[in-house]
Structure 1
């Protein structure tokens, strides 16, 4: 009888783990190893395990291990990359943390909205959440790779958050959303049409470059004065949430245009 009563609890935990295991926290150019360790601890508190580091100044490092305080397994399994493109290549949803307004407005979410959006996505959608350097945050070029920006609604008179604290807040919202939606049946990979999955970050990069090549050949794009074309295309396709099948269709259309040069 005990095993029967435990079954729904176990099933619910599996749904929570499926969602959280699908989320990657990416720290871009972290300069303080202590923050890396504190980030790992914050992640493990909330059940997240995927940590990626872009060109960390010091890693591995004893200070990071000490600050991890029991989350050394996350540090041991952390991915270390030379570029952000490498880290997010397979991600189908990329979100950048930012408190700054931009020249070109970008779709914005609060942490709770982001967490609920992720919780309702199929478990086959890898998600990357980007965190910038301790002093200046994410660069404009890094933020332009994102589908959404997420901002923590802190005190406007003192909105600067330690990076590990920001990660803790977002990780908490992710866990709460996972617990809230654990009763929903999660689609298995076999039930998801691969062609209807969102295009990956790598596919998006390929498509943007293809568009620029074709538009330059037709005379629409002046490479000397691009007028933020790449940025606007990224925002357009990000809002459209282009799928894998749509990506292939668009690449085919672009290839057909090139034939008439």
Structure 2
């Protein structure tokens, strides 16, 4: 086995393709085929509308049915990416959820760099509506395929093929030149916080801001979106998340004590 192949397989072992709410089973099969042609073998399904062993899915897989048979099925995206260090959402441009926008090549560079030591997920949404805003909030960045604006509708399997190709070419290039990751890549940090750890922190942060009346009656969504982006850019490790959660726990305790000390009605 060549060094290139060995290096690619090492990266591919930590790369997963996640399909959310797939409506047509045939698209699961076609996506599995697209993955396998590029040497990606980890397919994950989130709440598909029909069972993945559907006849149409197997027919469209055309030899990649082993990926479908091995694919875990989760109820929510948060569960599917809980152990990931990097989550990239493949979507059309969305101005309501302000995520960093990456091209497929930039996304592949980041994904392959992080997959050197940590789990990475590339997430694809529903055929008609894509990922919803709550699901996009679980992603660290958005990946946009620059299709022709005059005919921008891209089939799910075609989108998976584009990203799978970029992942393969980037990983093979990295295997040929070890120690020189692409300049657009974000290097993995030792002890980096997992997705589940970060989501636990964000949940506690939201509860704490409510407890101290930070929003003063304003809708909390905008502030939380900005705070999520701020902390995701920081690249927190597990120890830092524990420290911040300790601060939040004390803030919640003080808010509770202050509430108890407030004078009652006359």
Do they superpose with TM above 0.5?
Answer: yes
- Output the CA distance in 2 between the equivalents of 1:36 and 1:45: 14
Change (3 A) 1:57 1:223: farther
**Cα distance in 2 for residues equivalent to 1:55 and 1:31:** 10
Q: Map of 1:105-116 to 2, 5 A cutoff?
A: 105-116=98-109
TM-superposed deviation, 1:123: 2.2
Deviation at 1:178? 0.5
> Per-residue displacement from partner, 1:212-235 (whole Å, max 9, x unpaired)?
222222221357732423222222
C-alpha separation between the residues in 2 aligned to 1:180 and 1:22?
17
Q: 2:12·2:115 contact (CA, 8 Å) conserved in 1?
A: no
Structure 1's unaligned 5+ residue stretches are: 1-5, 187-193
- The two structures, once aligned, show a CA RMSD in angstroms of 2.0
Matched, 1:39 2:20: no
| 1:23-102 alignment runs, 5 A limit | 23-59=15-51, 60-102=53-95
| Distance in 2 separating the partners of 1:170 and 1:122 | 15
SS at match of 2:40: coil
For this pair of structures, how many residues does the alignment match? 246
Residue 213 (str. 1) matches residue 204 (str. 2): no
Match for 1:178 among 160, 171, 181? Answer: 171
TM-score relative to the length of structure 2: 0.86
User: 1:90 offset after TM fit, Å?
Assistant: 0.7
* C-alpha spacing 1:63/1:223, structure 2 compared with 1 (3 Å): farther
After superposition, the Cα gap between the structure-2 partners of 1:195 and 1:118, relative to the gap in structure 1 and judged at 3 Å, is closer
Q: Secondary structure at the match of 1:102?
A: coil
TM-score (norm 1): 0.88
Partner SS, residue 120 of structure 1: helix
Would the alpha carbon gap of residues 95 and 223 (structure 1) be closer, same or farther in structure 2, given more than 3 Å must change?
A: farther
